[in-house]
Amino acid sequence: MAGSNKDYFTEMVKLLIGLGIVAVVIVFAIRMLAGAFSSEEIMDADAVAKRLMSSERVVLVGGEKPKQETKQETKQETKSAEKTDNMAASTSESKKMPAQEASQSVAIDAEGLYKAKCLACHAAGAGGAPILGNKDQWASRIEKGMDAIMDTALNGSKTNPMMQAKGGAVDLSDAEVKAIVEFMVSSSK
């Protein structure tokens, strides 16, 4: 009697595994018919570039809202931009602005960058991060001065390893980090 129960269990497991495999094959076939795995979509260089681009963008204050582009417009603009860049590169060597002047001429959306890069820790206090707007948590930091806060923001905390250099967002420039810190401090006074 015990042997037949074991055989019944084994057969049921085999049946369930077989049904699962059949279901996966059916779903895959339906997706193939619907064109979800078309080679054109996978190999299209523009589609690959769009998927690889970061969804986070710096919003310039007073800038124009980006328009939705068609694939053909994007290709044409890319070609003309490459031509313009090649021509400009040869003539702009002598006209380059120093990095400091260039960073000051562009307005930085500190709140947008905060939301994109710092919100995860500073909204919930993760890892001991001072919560944006919490005057008590920021008071001791503000007393040490902006230079100390900036040092921590740029180089990481010497006492809390959770606060890495630039909060782990190494793609931020020093000017962007400074703008974010100023936003956070002014929001927490």
pLDDT at 4: 74
pLDDT at 125: 84
Long-range own/partner contacts, residues 123-127 (CB < 8 A, 24 or more apart): 126/162, 127/160, 127/162, 127/163
In a 10 Å sphere around its CB, with 0-12 CB exposed, 13-18 middle and 19+ buried, how is residue 131 labelled? middle
Per-residue CA distances from 182 to 33, 110, 145, 152, 156 (Å): 54, 8, 11, 13, 16
Instruction: Residue 117: count other Cβ atoms within 10 Å of its Cβ.
Output: 20
pLDDT at 16: 95
pLDDT at 12: 92
pLDDT at 107: 82
- Which of the residues in the chain have pLDDT under 50? 41-42, 54-56, 63, 84, 86-105
Contacts with 105 (C-beta within 8 Å, 6 or more apart), sequence order: 97
CA distance 64 to 50: 21
pLDDT at 38: 52
Does this model's pTM top 0.85?
no
DSSP H or E stretch at residue 46: helix 45-52
pLDDT at 106: 60
pLDDT at 167: 87
Q: Which two tokens stand for residue 144?
A: 């040490």
pLDDT at 122: 86
pLDDT at 188: 86
